[in-house]
A and B are shown apart, each in its own frame.
Chain A
Amino acid sequence: MLNRKFIPLTITCCLFFLLFGIGSVQFEGFGSTQVFFNLFSDNAFLIIAAVGMTFVILSGGIDLSVGAVIALTGVVCSVLISRYQLHPLIVFPIVLIGGTIFGAIMGAIIHYYKMQPFIVTLAGMFFARGLASVISEESIPIEHEFYNQVSAFGFEVLGGAWIGSSTIICLVVLVIAIITAHYTRFGGRVYAIGGDANSAALMGIPLAQTTIRIYAISAFLASLAGIVYSFYTFSGYSLAAVGVELDAIAAVVIGGTLLTGGYGYMFGTLMGVLIMGVVQTYISFDGTLSSWWTKIVIGLLLFCFIALQQLLIKTTPR
């Protein structure tokens, strides 16, 4: 017997495969492992950022700064690597630590000054993007042997699909996140704060420490997503990844996590990203939609999906 709390997640998974199936029937080449694994490699940075976002949303908060942090990370990486000739393996720890501190500061402001996450992270978004454009308005290419090696790394699976380093990184992140969320005390605290921060505090949960950690993790993962993004594009650009925060939020929510906090699963977030990716792939395979129809169809598909999800979850006998 399936545990009833997993029903929504199962329904979401089924709908994903339904969508994928429809595409495969309709278009030649859609139902290939290549297209399937492209969903991972194309969205690796989004999966990583959305995993961070899941922690934040589970705790009842929100982090609007992830897109900007991705851009800032890319810009800093490319400047340090291309202009200052530092080795990427020196640069990565720098940006990851920098990102983590940035997140921790946002978390501290949210907790100590009792400010709303939405606004603090919105300011954080302006700040990170602003800093990125001050560092460099132009996009900077990254040319480094290490990047070529990393991007060449990977292995082929059946059907000619390629599992590259980004896919591997994002899956590792996902597994660690699942363990953290569901098998550590920290994970329990995140859910607790999301359920009711006041009660959690009265139960002895260290609010300050947990909140700061949550935003630090989100920003750390956003930085990591920035690094993965830089592998994706071999460059850093202050206008990169605009609106990724909204994509990440949408993915988390489609994956069944409640925005008010306290309910949801890491794995659902992966499904959320994949579903949005399939919708996009579907549209580009179709290739006849004009710009505006693209938007309308994305909106409609999103709606159909969520409506179906709601309907199935509501009518499933408990």
Chain B
Amino acid sequence: MSQVVLQLQNIHKKFPGVHALKGVNFTLRAGEIHALLGENGAGKSTLIKVMTGVYQRDDGDILLNNQAIFPNNTGDAQALGISTVYQEVNLLPNLTVAQNIYLGREPRRFGLINWTKVNQDAAQLLKGYDLDIDVTQPLSSYSIAVQQLIAIARGVDMSAKVLILDEPTASLDADEVQTLFRIMRDLKARGIGIVFVTHFLDQVYAVTDRITILRSAQLVGEFETATLSRAELIGHMLGKELAALGEHKPQAHATSGDALLSVQAISRQATLSPTDIAVSKGEVVGLAGLLGSGRTELCRLIFGVDKKHSGNVTFHGQPVNFSSPRDAIIAGMGLCPEDRKHDGILGQLSIRENIILARQVKQGWWKFISRKEQEEIANNFVKELSVATSDIEKPIEQLSGGNQQKVILARWLAANPSLLILDEPTRGIDIGAHAEIIRLIRKLCDQGLALIVASSELEELVAFSNKVVVLRDRQKVTELTGDEINPQRIMQAIAAH
């Protein structure tokens, strides 16, 4: 068996009011891909941040090649050969793509940075990820998925002994995921140890060698991937059987057939060609497409975040022309954006405030929702979506990524919309909560809510869509209904030329 590179022993970490790691052990060998699994808020990201010096451990030892290390920050960890891609995309929107990739290790000539080389190398590196973009543009001009790939490319390029990937695939398409796996296997062959956090069990079985599972800040155990069954794995993660989650199979549900939203030839220069889409009450319309196919753009245009350059929108039978999200919200829409960190959370505000804000806006500022009612709403959603928190007054930034996502979902559900647009709604959500959310969505649809869901996960789209609209190159290519909705057909539509 290959040799141990990184070993964590009896790690403890406390935050005010939360004991986030209670004596966790973890062992990573050279040349293995090691899955770190657990529910939202189990402590995965915290463990990773302790390993890399972002947080200081309260107790325990970290050994790198059998030597105790005390990293004080990411820089120290990098110097020791540990490279990390953190859960939220942590790159710098103001710098160019190339600068982001080489920040802190730019190639120099005569002591000065050689920008030509930086740009060439960056472009070359990204080609390996099938990403052919202008690396001299600021990072902020690319979608969150592209940013995630860039972050991965940076992390992989720097890895010397250990590479840590915290939910790198959360907003990637199947194709990109395959590319990533190919690269991970390459690194593995070169003897690099890889820690891989994900909530997609298929991916765990596709690429990892061993699995460490955390539950409620504690270690459940370490397993060989090959010998652990899916049911056992879920059982270990949730502490209960999969059966308790309800089935995960597609289930047709009734739609009323009354048109709710009808969009004709909506377009915006340089971002979306004229596209039609119609949604009825109780219907779920899935948006499928590759990275950059225009799903996010379409959602933003409907919701009035961006100004449309042409097209008509009818909502509730009335022609509407939203000049801002506020109009859309008051008319009864909601949009849960894909970039959680940038467009979703209000970091310093409490969970309660984050949940009630959209509803408050809908009601108007003078009709203040009383504190009691706010707490009621927040507590309800926290329970219903099983947000792991001790207190609804905690700032949302202190929640784990998946739990933040649940709170943002709750925000939009709390606003009682008649049409809800979800852009990658289950990013980073664990399988238990995933099932919970799908069940919730179905329940709401039965009550007449209509949904537009953009998702990179075909399984998920298939699971609850009545209709799937496929986009390619910022254009609608086809619309699938009924039996046509299956992963193969969607893949064909996406890929066809």
On A, residues with C-beta under 8 Å from B are 5, 179, 183-185, 188-189, 191-192, 194-196, 198-207, 262-263
Contact = CB atoms under 8 A, between A and B. Distances in A.
B238 interface: no
Interface in B96-111: 99-100, 103-106, 108, 111
A203 B103 contact: yes
A285 B376 CA distance: 68
B91 interface: yes
A196 B9 CA distance: 33
A183 B73 CA distance: 25
Nearest to B78: A204
Contacts of B115: 183
A203 B104 contact: yes
Given A196-B92, A196-B93, A263-B94, A205 B103 contact: yes
B113 A204 contact: no
A196 B93 CA distance: 8
Given A188-B99, A206-B73, A179 B86 contact: no
Given A199-B92, A204-B104, 5 more contacts: A184-B112, A189-B104, A191-B94, A195-B92, A203-B104
Contacts of B103: 188-189, 192, 200, 203-205
Interface SS, A side? helix
Interface string B50-86: 0000100000000000000000011101100000101
B92 A202 contact: no
12 contacts: A184-B112, A185-B113, A188-B104, A195-B94, A199-B90, A200-B103, A201-B74, A203-B91, A204-B74, A205-B104, A207-B73, A263-B94
A191 B100 CA distance: 11
Contacts of B105: 185
B95 interface: yes
Contacts of B108: 185
B113 A194 contact: no
B51 to A, nearest CB: 13
Nearest 3 CB-CB pairings of A with B: A262-B94, A195-B92, A195-B94
A199 B139 CA distance: 13
Contacts of B93: 195-196
Nearest to A4: B137
A207 B73 CA distance: 9
Contacts of B75: 204-206
B86 A192 contact: no
A191 B91 CA distance: 12
B112 A202 contact: no
A198 B95 CA distance: 15
Contacts of A205: 75, 103-104
A257 to B, nearest CB: 12
B113 A202 contact: no
A13 B94 CA distance: 23
Contacts of A262: 92, 94-95
Nearest to B139: A195
Which of A194, A203, A263 has its CB near the most chain B CB atoms (within 10 A)? Answer: A203
B73 to A, nearest CB: 6
A31 B115 CA distance: 39
A201 B111 CA distance: 24
Which of A183, A202, A206 has its CB near the most chain B CB atoms (within 10 A)? Answer: A202
Contacts of A198: 90
